[in-house]
Structure 1
Amino acid sequence: MQRREPLGGAEFAPETTYLNSASSGLLPRRSAAALRAAVVESASYGTMGRDYFAAPNAARAAFARLLDVPAERVAVGSSVAVQSALIAASLPPGSEVLVPEGDFSSLVNPLGSHPHVKLRTVPLEALADAVRPGTALVAFSAVQSLDGRIADLAAVREAARAHGARTFVDATQAAGWLPLRAGDFDYLVSGAFKWLLCPRGTTFLAFGGDASEDSAWPAALHAGWVAGEDLDESTYGLIRPAATARRFDEPHAHFSYVAAEHSLALVEELGVPAVHTHNTHLAAYYREGLAARGLTPRPAPGSAIVSTPGLADAERRLTEAGVRISVRGGLLRAAFHLYNSTDDVDRLLSLLA
């Protein structure tokens, strides 16, 4: 198989063999430099910097371009769980929400713990067929965190439309390497600290559909001053919510979004299709190496995440050798991203041997 060097050039020079992007991504050098400058600035201008809104607005616009949705339909936040709770609270009492078994808790738990929601779980592969009359929402990860399985996005979307259900997609394990269109779904949320290379505390919530269909938006239940149409008039008392998805903004973590602006710019420069080709090539190369050693990973065709049973005990030895990797559900999970190379795969395979 063709050899591959890392993408991103001098933006990355990790001291480890880093194969853990499904847990958190590496911060590009440009983002780290911007973050250091913002910290220095805060000593004279406060922890909101000289311009509190410039970075999140630039990051919002970049995320919107990456997910092919108008920036006016994107809100910035801090966590998937908060955004999931917002969607849960928007549902009528008694609503059935359909989710895959074992999906990530930050998506599922806020839905399942809401007193007005009836949660129903089915295997991921049965998700599209399980949509039925009366299903109000289908919520699922585009890519499963545990083992990298990719949902049949088109099938679930069409089944939901056929039954009048809305769709809520968690793209945390997909955005940045798997080509996606947020407009294909009613709601799309993404924690940006993994494949989008941003710090923790950066999350985006995109609203699909026609940008003029404001009636499809839920109530802005956690709206604070940053969600007001006129920020100069939104500091005290009841506010007039913004006319755009900014009405769902949370007061953002300034330093996180300063770095996010630059990280997302790098992903844009490289292009998601190129990153997808690179990542899936490395994952396929790793699968071939596992097969040659008599090892069989969990089936996840076309995924950048490869999870393998029977290797969990290797994590400590790999960590001691400078390989950053994770174990989830008894599976050794390797995640291949733009800063990895075939040399990284070869090193992992040799250590496993």
Structure 2
Amino acid sequence: MSNATEGLIKLVGCVAMEGMNPDDNVITVGNSYPTVPLTVERLRKLGVEIRLCEATTEAIIAAIDSRTRLIAIEACNYVSCELFDLERIAEAAHAVGARIIIDVSQVASVLPLALAPFDALVATTYKWLGAESNGAGICWINRERWPDITPENVGWYAVLPIVLPFTGEYQLKPTASRLEAGGLPWRDLNILRDALRHLSPFSQQEITEHIRELGNEIIAELDKLNLGLTILSPRDAQRRGSYISVKMSDEMARMVCARLNERGIYLSFGQGRLRLGPWLHNGSEDVKLAVQILGEALREMNYAPDDGVW
């Protein structure tokens, strides 16, 4: 796909093609990356109930009932980076005959993924896979669970060769390429290939351990600042994905990031938090320097955790 969003749009359309009734429901998480709930919103036009859950495994499972047709969630919560128990959620989904689609953009290549429990997943490739921004996305189909997946829209890449003139008869390709309506972003796929070659010398275990250890170090260094920061991410590395989130208003986080950018430190922000996301090229010295400069900026800006502006 061109991006993860395109994959989600197509997959939600495939669920709709299977038939949905006004008393059916779809489950997603309210503070997901907005693309996830936005792509299922279209199903409201069919009378389907959209259930926006809190960001916990228990809340998602509790929302599932006999009329649930789709669970569309991320591998970890977008705000806190806390991992969901995806296998438990998938088991609950399949117990009532529902599809489960996972967006793994925030953990792809950082954590090992067991794919068998899911019907489909999507991922961007410009984060921890290292490819170019908004160039190519991954859309994976579990052919054992969804062998007859049918796209809403069909193009020439989706079907077996047709002899002209077209008569109205065609056959979908037997593979997931039936979701590829037209030409693929070959330039960006070649960039992705090179990015994956860059990762290939490292085992999944090495990557996971490296990111988890840096996350632990980030939390320890943030604590040392003694500024009263609220860390939203789990302190237990086994329960979190790829980054550490600190509670902060978007406006103040934007100004903090602008100061850090001037000193060569690049963080991201949004959804009420500042985000520190380490990667393979980072080490302990990077963590210490980044948090040190963050602390200096916060003190210069008179950071006060009890001040509502923060």
Q: Flag whether TM exceeds 0.5 (same fold).
A: yes
Change (3 A) 1:204 1:235: farther
Change (3 A) 1:235 1:83: farther
State how 1:121-160 maps to structure 2 within 5 Å. 121-125=52-56, 126-160=59-93
State how 1:160-239 maps to structure 2 within 5 Å. 160-199=93-132, 200-208=134-142, 210=144, 214-215=147-148, 217=149, 219-230=150-161, 233=162, 237=166, 239=170
Change (3 A) 1:229 1:297: same
2:303 aligned partner: none
How many angstroms apart in 1 are the aligned matches of 2:123 and 2:176? 15
Given residue 124 of structure 2, which amino acid in structure 1 is its aligned partner? Answer: G
**Given the alignment of the two structures, is residue 119 of structure 1 paired with residue 17 of structure 2, yes or no?**
no
Higher relative contact order (CA 8 A, sep 6+): 1
**Is the Cα contact below 8 Å between 2:91 and 2:117 reproduced in 1?**
no
Of the candidates 245, 248, 256, which is equivalent to residue 176 of structure 2? 245
Of the candidates 244, 253, 276, which is equivalent to residue 306 of structure 1? 244
Q: Which moved more, 1:155-164 or 1:186-195?
A: 155-164
Q: Match of 1:194, SS? A: coil
Deviations 1:310-341 (A, max 9, x none): 47242121111011111112311111111211
How many angstroms apart in 2 are the aligned matches of 1:243 and 1:209? 10
Given residue 276 of structure 1, which amino acid in structure 2 is its aligned partner? Answer: T
Q: Match of 2:245, SS? A: strand
Residue correspondences, number: 272
State how 1:287-298 maps to structure 2 within 5 Å. 287-294=219-226, 295-298=229-232
Structure 1 unpaired stretches of 5+: 1-76
2:8 aligned partner: 84
Of the candidates 279, 288, 301, which is equivalent to residue 346 of structure 1? 288
RMSD between aligned residues: 2.1
Of the candidates 34, 38, 53, which is equivalent to residue 105 of structure 1? 34
How many angstroms apart in 2 are the aligned matches of 1:103 and 1:109? 10
How many angstroms apart in 1 are the aligned matches of 2:115 and 2:160? 24
Given residue 206 of structure 1, which amino acid in structure 2 is its aligned partner? Answer: W
Deviations 1:130-185 (A, max 9, x none): 21121111110002333312112122112212222221100111111111122220
2:307 aligned partner: none
Q: Match of 1:149, SS? A: coil
Per-residue deviation, 1:235: 8.7
Q: Match of 2:92, SS? A: helix
How many angstroms apart in 1 are the aligned matches of 2:191 and 2:164? 26
How many angstroms apart in 2 are the aligned matches of 1:274 and 1:221? 41
Per-residue deviation, 1:229: 2.7
1:93 aligned partner: 20
Aligned-pair identity in percent equals: 22
**Is the Cα contact below 8 Å between 1:306 and 1:334 reproduced in 2?**
yes
Change (3 A) 1:347 1:162: same
The TM-score, its normalising length taken from structure 2, stands at 0.81
Q: Which moved more, 1:98-107 or 1:259-268?
A: 259-268
Given residue 230 of structure 2, which amino acid in structure 1 is its aligned partner? Answer: T
Per-residue deviation, 1:197: 1.1
Q: Match of 1:161, SS? A: helix
